Amino acid sequence: MNISIISFIALVLVSIGLFAKNVKTIIRNIKLGKDIDRNDNMSGRFSLMAKVALGQSKMQARPVVGILHFVVYAGFIIINIEVLEIVLDGLLGTHRLFSPLGSLYTFLISTFEVLALLVLVACVIFLIRRNVLRIKRFFGKEMTSWPKTDANLILITEVLLMGAFLLMNAVDSQLQNLGSEHYTQVGSFPISGLLIGVFQGISEHSLIIIERSTWWFHIVGIFAFLNYLPYSKHFHILLAFPNVFYSKLTPQGQFTNMEAVKKEVELMFDPNADPYAAPPEPVGEPERFGAKDVQDLTWKQLMDAYTCTECGRCTDVCPANITGKELSPRKILMDTRDRLVEVGKGIDKNGKDYDDGKSLLRDYIKEEELLACTSCNACTEACPVNNDPLSVIVDLRRYLIMEESKAPAEWTGMLTNIENNGAPWQFAQADRLKWKDED
């Protein structure tokens, strides 16, 4: 077994091992969330996933970007069939293992090349949109240097990977032309064929070095990219599927009825309950009303945070954000993810009961942001992966009001009115029918 096969096997094992470890951490972090049942209506969930995740239906609300995104996505997935050949070649020390497929092989590689070019062009357009046209939704206060760099790194990596793939095929064709040993005659391909001229007159030895370099660059790049995913917003390419599958299926306007509250209210309404009975001994830690930190959210809300790809469609349609308020739904989910990563690191370092004294509320998200929300559902409607930032906002509001009794003075008045006279304003319930006799 030669050194190149050994290094290749090592590359594959290390890459996959490292990726598995990071994915395990993410799953562990998501499971820090509270339980919620999203296993109803399986067939509805599958068709939703087919439509929204696989079919990217919500991306098409903005058709130009929608189509370009679909090209990158479809292209990237289909081209990865080629990676299978590359991996097998690497492991077996073969070259173009699938070439005996003959004309089918030519067809496949030609298709991959066309797609590679399209992906490359789309990524360049995306880079221009972000860095030259500076589309507004890619900016905003939560888009600090890392989120911007992350987005550019992803696009540049895809350009480089696609470039390496095309270059590799071009050099390969030239080596075939020279009759170089080991380079199977598969002919030239439509896109890389255009580049052959560049390599005229270069010695066979140099060409082999270039071909091997691009081959290694391409495959090492792909494995490196795989391991970059868990640190990046690009993880959405994997999580979009389960995230859409476990979407909220009830009407968007329906908020959850908190179970813990229901038990208490039912007891208050129970005519048979003994008003003088001593409260039952609490079992375990009392449940917190609403969310102060990420562990108070559900696993689905935490999955939302990891799935968010920071596209900013939510913030772009948020009435509060449009009118200059502090609230940005994208920031709510990015903060949730960043805090969850921080909590996860704390657990890795100091054990599972570690408390760093920080929380999602206030250390990340300010009250002012939460108070600006009109609960209009524009953000949830716009999200291409069915994230629900509104539910996080509401859970944080619940904590503020029910645990800290903290509300703007006007809300306190409104709530007192509802409690006292059954209306948000100070009108007597006895006057509720007065409209009948007015004109």
Task: By CB under 8 A, name the binding residues for other proteins.
Answer: 61, 250-255, 257-258, 261-262, 264-266, 268-269, 289-290, 317, 319-320, 322-327, 368, 371-378, 381, 394, 397-402, 407-408, 410-411, 413-415, 418-419, 422-425, 427, 429-436, 438-439
Q: Which is nearer to other proteins, 181 or 439 (CB)?
A: 439
CA nearest neighbour of 333 among 297, 358, 357: 297
- The least distance separating other proteins from the CB of residue 57, rounded to whole angstroms, comes to 12
- The least distance separating other proteins from the CB of residue 71, rounded to whole angstroms, comes to 25
- The least distance separating other proteins from the CB of residue 332, rounded to whole angstroms, comes to 14
Q: Which is nearer to other proteins, 137 or 148 (CB)?
A: 137
Q: Which is nearer to other proteins, 154 or 332 (CB)?
A: 332
Q: Hey, which residues does 34 pair with through a beta bridge?
A: 298
Q: Which is nearer to other proteins, 78 or 394 (CB)?
A: 394
Q: Are 58 and 52 in contact (CB under 8 A)?
A: yes
Task: Identify the residue whose tokens are 């006279």.
Answer: 421
- The least distance separating other proteins from the CB of residue 76, rounded to whole angstroms, comes to 29
- The least distance separating other proteins from the CB of residue 383, rounded to whole angstroms, comes to 12
The two most distant CA atoms of the chain are separated, in Å, by 100
- The least distance separating other proteins from the CB of residue 33, rounded to whole angstroms, comes to 19
Angle at 223 between CA 218 and CA 224, to 5 degrees: 95
Q: Which is nearer to other proteins, 172 or 296 (CB)?
A: 296
**Measured distance CA(346)–CA(350) in Å, rounded:** 6
Q: Which is nearer to other proteins, 42 or 268 (CB)?
A: 268
Q: Which is nearer to other proteins, 277 or 433 (CB)?
A: 433
Q: Which is nearer to other proteins, 274 or 410 (CB)?
A: 410
Q: Which is nearer to other proteins, 43 or 323 (CB)?
A: 323
- The least distance separating other proteins from the CB of residue 324, rounded to whole angstroms, comes to 3
- The least distance separating other proteins from the CB of residue 351, rounded to whole angstroms, comes to 33
Q: Which is nearer to other proteins, 149 or 256 (CB)?
A: 256
Q: Which is nearer to other proteins, 187 or 424 (CB)?
A: 424
Backbone angles phi and psi of 403, in degrees to 5:
-95, -35
Q: In angstroms, how far is the first alpha carbon of the chain from the final one? A: 96
**Measured distance CA(62)–CA(149) in Å, rounded:** 24
- The least distance separating other proteins from the CB of residue 192, rounded to whole angstroms, comes to 43
- The least distance separating other proteins from the CB of residue 358, rounded to whole angstroms, comes to 22
Written as six digits, the tokens of 54 are: 């696989």
- The least distance separating other proteins from the CB of residue 337, rounded to whole angstroms, comes to 23
